[in-house]
Amino acid sequence: MSEDDPDFEALLEFLKESRGFDFTGYKRSSLMRRVARRTQALGIEGWNEYLDYIQVHQDEYTTLFNTVLINVTGFFRDQDSWLQMRAEILPQLIASKKPSEAIRVWCAGCATGEEAYSIAMLLAELLGPEEFRDRVKIYATDVDDEALSIARQATYGEKEARAVPSDLLDRYFERNGVRFVFAKDLRRSVIFGRNDLVQDAPISRVDLLTCRNTLMYLNAETQARVLARFNFALNEVGVLFLGKAEMLLSHGQLFTPLDLKRRFFRKVPRAVPGLGVITSGGAGKNALRELLGADRLQTEALLTAPVAAIVVTNDGTVAGVNQRAEALFGVSARDLGRPFLDLDVSYRPIELRPYLEEVRRERRPVWVRDVEWTRSPGEKLCVDFQIMPLISSDGQHAGAAVFASDVTRYRNLQDELEFANRQIETAYEELQSTVEELETTNEELQSTVEELETTNEELQSTNEELETMNEELQSTNDELQSINDELRERTDQLNDANAFLESILRSLRSVVVVVDSDLVVRVWNRQSEDLWGLRPEEAVGQHLLNLDIGISTDRLRPLIRQVLVGGEPTAPAELAIDAINRRGRPVEVRVGASPLIYRAGQVAGAIVVMDQVSAPAPNDPS
């Protein structure tokens, strides 16, 4: 199977458009292997044929998702890492918080919930149940609704509970028959919900984020996007806990290792561009604080910033200005709420309207540099303009911010610098040869570094692929175990039914013989053996009328034949027939026959009942 198969990509696009689930960010090798497993089960060849099938059978979506989404998890999985979590990671996290401050945990890709409840038990041990209920919130998310339903029930079998230490099992679980139920009072602090790491917004202000053996199913581009969201979700000292196949060696700008062996990583703080534009009026200040998320310190700092700033909403209304904009362009708080196009600054010293439209249309910053402006006779300024788009939290265009910097002094310095540069060009030419040699050496070193990084990424990818296959095998093994348990249960039921039937047949005092539609013996009870002298293994499977027993088949045949065809027998339903028993003594046997009804009235055979009505003479030892 080719990893860039257009038919397979068409299937993924259909799933994305019809059900809103985006599989396009998953590694193609493992994804194609999982989907192929489903097509083989259906006997379908080719992705196009499967696409036609899933369009017709709506219930196939659920089965496909359960096949693709491998829910392999467990309590305290990779025990060495959890010991480190209990001994160092969680105590440090708690110590960094104030006594009454909330502790927020996000368990991404939680599957059936074992990992979320593992964290809950450790935090309850460190904080105590009362403080745990007051301070801790654990958000557990997954894309598999069926797995989330199991997690919310918080009931697990003996196999899953076996991984929980006995002391924790006794304290935090209640036994209900053969199932174990997590403590109800602590369960309220664990909140389960659906979240697609690729598409949905991350949970914010998280102190601990666990995402174990989930990233390894995603391709490199999608991994980078998800990790950027994880960086945003974590607090400044937040910790990320990954699976043993995930190392983040190529994402050092986002996370730094705390314990690489056990896969604990610390968030690397990222500088968020603070382009907060603040008005000099109180109402405008509050409005912009809501728009840009600036805190009070940022508000006051940007109010007096040396760069002139004007905020224009999406409908062209002035939403805010700072003090420098008032000094440079004469725009003040009185202009708040006016159309920007009514202000002089919209067209002088440069026409800003087309640039605002370009920013709104393309959603990218626009620079206009070295704009010369004669503000008054004898006063010539040089101004740089930057127009920045403002994007709201839901991804919509909210407006634009116009920044203006008076760069007159810097322009003069630049002119002086250009003159000085011309004087030292000769010296630069002499150094050029040396610089080129250094650049060549640097490129060679860079090439070597890139080759090493490529090799490392290939090894990491291979490791992730092996771990993926291992989890798939584990999932398959669990399925086979479930099938074996079901077969064993069905076998026990069948054995019980057979034993029950055998007990009934042994308890009857009459001779009972069951034959199929071809008069082949299927049941031969103990009384049959006592009367005719044939053991069951000698009679079962033989034609009844061919057996060497002492009864006339000429009178027996029509009775049974009439029963098999469903009509009334020409002879009486019960016949008294003279026969010879197993000891060669004459006896009189009363024979009755009735149809064996099977499957909606179909006659599948006959039940022949024989009763000895005359005993041998008194001196007959039989």
The Cα 105–Cα 239 span in angstroms is 10
pLDDT at residue 342 is higher than 90: no
pLDDT at residue 318 is higher than 70: yes
Cβ neighbours of 531 (radius 10 Å): 22
Q: What is the CATH number of domain 79-258?
A: 3.40.50.150
Return the CATH fold of 282-408.
Answer: Beta-Lactamase (3.30.450)
State whether residue 203 is helix, strand or coil. Answer: coil
Tracing tokens 């060696």 back to the chain, one arrives at 249
pLDDT at residue 437 is higher than 80: no
φ and ψ at residue 522, rounded to 5 degrees: -110, -30
Sign of the C-alpha dihedral computed for residues 85, 89, 92 and 94 taken in this order: negative
The Cα 347–Cα 340 span in angstroms is 10
Counting Cα atoms < 13 Å in the Cβ hemisphere of 243 gives 23
State whether residue 472 is helix, strand or coil. Answer: helix
Residues 100-109: what's their mean pLDDT?
92
pLDDT, tens only, 478-532: 889 889 999 999 998 988 888 888 788 777 778 899 988 888 998 988 888 888 8
As given in the structure block, the two tokens for residue 486 are: 């079901």
Distances (CA, A) of 122 to 78, 262, 488: 15, 17, 38
Residues 231-253: what's their mean pLDDT?
83
Residue 270 has a pLDDT of: 56
Distances (CA, A) of 570 to 65, 68, 131, 609: 64, 65, 88, 18
* Pairing mode, strands 602-614 and 586-598: antiparallel
Closest CA to 544 of 567, 561, 566, 527: 561
Contacts of range 404-408, beta carbons closer than 8 Å, 24 or more positions apart = 404/307, 404/308, 404/309, 404/310, 404/325, 404/328, 404/329, 405/306, 405/307, 405/308, 406/308, 406/328, 406/381, 406/382, 407/370, 407/382, 407/383, 408/380, 408/381, 408/382, 408/383
Residues 118-142: what's their mean pLDDT?
93
501 within 8 A of 525, measured Cβ to Cβ: no
The Cα 279–Cα 294 span in angstroms is 12
Residue type, 575: L
pLDDT at residue 282 is higher than 60: no
Distances (CA, A) of 460 to 28, 454, 455, 547: 16, 10, 9, 74
* Pairing mode, strands 206-211 and 234-242: parallel
* Pairing mode, strands 366-376 and 379-391: antiparallel
Report which of residues 404 and 271 the model is more confident about.
404
Strand partners, 239: 208, 266
CA angle, 393 then 398 then 399, to 5°: 145
3-state secondary structure 60-122: HHHHHHHHHCCCCCCCCCCHHHHHHHHHHHHHHHHHCCCCCCCEEEEEECCCCCHHHHHHHHH
pLDDT at residue 619 is higher than 70: no
Residue 128 has a pLDDT of: 92
311 within 8 A of 333, measured Cβ to Cβ: no
pLDDT at residue 287 is higher than 50: no
pLDDT at residue 280 is higher than 70: no
- Determine if the pTM surpasses 0.75: no
Between helices 425-507 and 408-423, what is the axis angle to 10°? 110
pLDDT at residue 544 is higher than 70: yes
Closest CA to 213 of 528, 459, 557, 467: 467
How many separate helices (H) and strands (E) can be counted in the chain?
22, 21
Residue 418 has a pLDDT of: 82
The Cα 138–Cα 3 span in angstroms is 38
Q: What is the DSSP letter of 345?
A: G
The Cα 9–Cα 28 span in angstroms is 10
333 within 8 A of 321, measured Cβ to Cβ: yes
Percent of the chain with pLDDT over 70: 90
pLDDT at residue 289 is higher than 70: no
Burial class (CB in 10 A: 0-12, 13-18, 19+), 85: buried
pLDDT, tens only, 41-95: 888 888 888 888 888 888 787 788 777 777 778 899 988 999 999 999 999 999 9
pLDDT, tens only, 383-428: 899 999 988 777 778 889 899 888 888 888 887 888 888 788 777 7
Between helices 28-42 and 425-507, what is the axis angle to 10°? 30
Residue 272 has a pLDDT of: 37
Residue 301 has a pLDDT of: 61
Is the domain spanning 6-68 CATH 1.10.155.10? The answer is: yes
The Cα 280–Cα 305 span in angstroms is 12
* Residues near 211 by beta carbon (within 8 Å), at least 6 away in sequence: 107, 108, 109, 197, 230, 240, 241, 242, 243
Superfamily of domain 505-614: PAS domain (3.30.450.20)
User: Which stretches of 20-46 are DSSP H helices?
Assistant: 28-42
Percent of the chain with pLDDT over 90: 18
The Cα 220–Cα 212 span in angstroms is 16
Residue 298 has a pLDDT of: 56
The Cα 589–Cα 609 span in angstroms is 10
Closest CA to 284 of 345, 336, 326, 343: 336
Tracing tokens 């060009």 back to the chain, one arrives at 425
Query: Is residue 269 reached through a cis peptide bond, with omega within 30 degrees of 0 on the bond before it?
Result: no
Report which of residues 506 and 120 the model is more confident about.
120
Between helices 28-42 and 60-68, what is the axis angle to 10°? 140
State whether residue 574 is helix, strand or coil. Answer: strand
Q: What is the DSSP letter of 549?
A: -
Closest CA to 608 of 619, 599, 596: 596
Of 136-140, 311-315, 327-331, the least confident: 327-331
φ and ψ at residue 310, rounded to 5 degrees: -130, 130
